[in-house]
Amino acid sequence: MSRITFLDNAKPGKNNWWRYILTISLIAIGIIGGSIAVGAVMGIVYIAYLSITGLTDPSQLMAAIYSLNSEPFFLLIAGGISYIFALLMLFIGVRFIHNRKFITLVNTDSKFDFRRVLKGAGIWSSILLVSLLVTFIMDPTGVKFSFNPLGFLVLVILSLIIFPIQASTEELFFRGYLMQGFGSLTKKTRFLKVIPIPPIGKIPVIPLILTSIFFSVGHYWNGSTPLEGIDLLLQTFVLGITLGIIVLGENRLETAMGVHIANNIFVTVIINDPSSIFGGLPSILSYTPTPNLLIDVTSVTLWSVLLLIILFWNKKENLVNIFRIGD
């Protein structure tokens, strides 16, 4: 493979800067509007249920609705449905605003490969299990057994429905739409015109870094403290870089989708942090780590490097292409 063709998928479409602004705005409207709609419907249903069971006092009903907003299962369902709206808006933007086929966000051969999704999910799940074993060895008293059979069954069913949609939508947006978009837009200008360097869009690593920054910033708010937020931001940046390298190295999105899906299911179903937004979910294990930027970022980097070694064993040329200047 002599070049990164995945970034070229945006060429047949219309790539004016305002089309990206309009599509991103539609996606934001889809997420916000979907969340509001889901919240309203579930709130009405919950009020009706409480009324039937005998709770009719307005102040108590409002308190119950307020508590619903912090219920992890509610947040999980509402978030999942909002991503369906986001995916719909992304499809509309790509298909009708950019005048492109939606499959161009996924690969260069227009054939979705489910085997790669399973491959990415299987390898990353195995690595995460090893990391969990290392965590238990280093801090055996920190990992708590919190298994609840009925709640766990519900969680598994919801996770297998919601996280493939949520993670795939994020991959389609960040590693597909945005990375191809940055690759297309930055080819039209020079970083500094006074310096004789090629357009930055011809260096695939630049769109990779830009999308990873945007991907990580949104995760800062998942932390319960500023330190946790920064810790999550840095870890997510490393994961974003890793997923982007996989996409550029394979010229397709499916393996990265599988890794992302497996990651989100693992940190929700297998083990989660009780202080996180989904901390109340009935996972098998719970673990509340003390944020340590050096250890945490180093750990996720090592596991990510291991993932890349496994995926690109005997395919090192694919990785070298990411740092080459294109034609």
Q: Is residue 296 part of a domain?
A: yes
- The answer to whether 166 and 264 are in contact (CB under 8 A) is yes
Domain hosting 220: range is 6-323
pLDDT at 56 (0 to 100):
61
8 A C-beta contact, residue 248 and residue 4? yes
pLDDT by residue (tens digit) across 280-292?
788 999 887 788 8
Closest by Cα among 208, 233, 229, 181 to 308: 208
Report the number of distinct structural domains present in the chain: 1
Question: Which residue carries 């059979």 as its tokens?
Answer: 149
- This prediction has a pTM of 0.89
Q: How confident is the model at residue 97, as a pLDDT?
A: 97
Pull the structure tokens for residue 178: 């945005």
Determine, yes or no, domain membership for 133: yes
Residue 1 included in any domain: no
Q: Residues 86-128: pLDDT tens digits?
A: 999 999 999 999 999 999 999 998 899 999 999 999 999 999 9
Q: Does residue 206 form part of some domain? A: yes
Do residues 225 and 196 lie in contact, with contact meaning Cβ atoms separated by under 8 Å? no
